[in-house]
Amino acid sequence: MSLRLALGKDLLLQWRTRAQGVAVLMFGASALLLFSFAHGPDASRLREHAGGFLWLGLLLASTLALADSFQGETEDDALEGLRLLPASPRALFYGKALANGFQLTAIGVTLLPVMVVLFDAPVDRLLAVLGIIALGAAGLSAPGTLYAAMTARARARQTLLPLLLFPLVVPVLLAAVKATELVILGDPMEQLRSWTLLLVAFDVVHWSLGGLFFGRVVEE
């Protein structure tokens, strides 16, 4: 199975379970709404922390999407069947990680107008924000896919996955939040390029290590 076939399979599964994706999206939007209530009515403070709230909402929603990403493979030993095919474990990993990355990017893009409405956060540089969302989603999807494979057979995978994933993606979240805030609030010291390059560096590391270790994970 090539990377193209693995990606097509996972995208097709996501399309067939799109109702579950809508539920994940609503969960993320509800999290943003709760954050706005918890922070109070101060519009300037809400705007100041809008980028952080956006990424917290996406992070919480991602745990639900990632935890269920291997549900089809664990049913009826489908993952064992995939391993018997003449396919590279890296192709399986990158196909799954790309599909998860597309899904998380779509969730982040859909949460963006929710953030604008709730936190009165102007997004004048829309393409820059969309690029940061795509890079941040990639930084979440690669380690998230790896840990989702590790916890796929665990009964408490919905709880175990966040415990493993959150500490690892702190640098990705930090870079994504800072880059998003600089786009929204302005960048007088021209720090956006540095934070974006840092986010790209973390993405490269996570995607490289994920492809390297995935074979060992599925063989256990």
Beta strands of 23-94 (E only): which ranges?
Answer: none
The pLDDT value given to residue 217 = 72
Distance CA 135, CA 184 (A): 17
Higher pLDDT pick, 219 / 164: 164
pLDDT, mean over the chain: 84
Q: Using a pLDDT cut of 90, give the percent of the chain over it.
A: 37
Residue 140 half-sphere exposure, CB side, CA atoms within 13 Å?
Answer: 35
The pLDDT value given to residue 139 = 94
Mean pLDDT check: name the lowest of 51-55, 163-167, 187-191, 215-219: 215-219
Tokens of residue 146, six digits:
């790896």
Q: pLDDT-based confidence at 72, cuts 50/70/90? A: low
Higher pLDDT pick, 79 / 181: 181
Q: Which residue has the tokens 């896919």?
A: 145
Mean pLDDT computed over 148-160: 78
Summarize pLDDT for 105-139 with one digit per residue, the tens. Answer: 999 999 999 998 888 888 888 899 999 999 999 99
Nearest CA to 134 out of 92, 169, 106 is that of 106
The pLDDT value given to residue 76 = 56
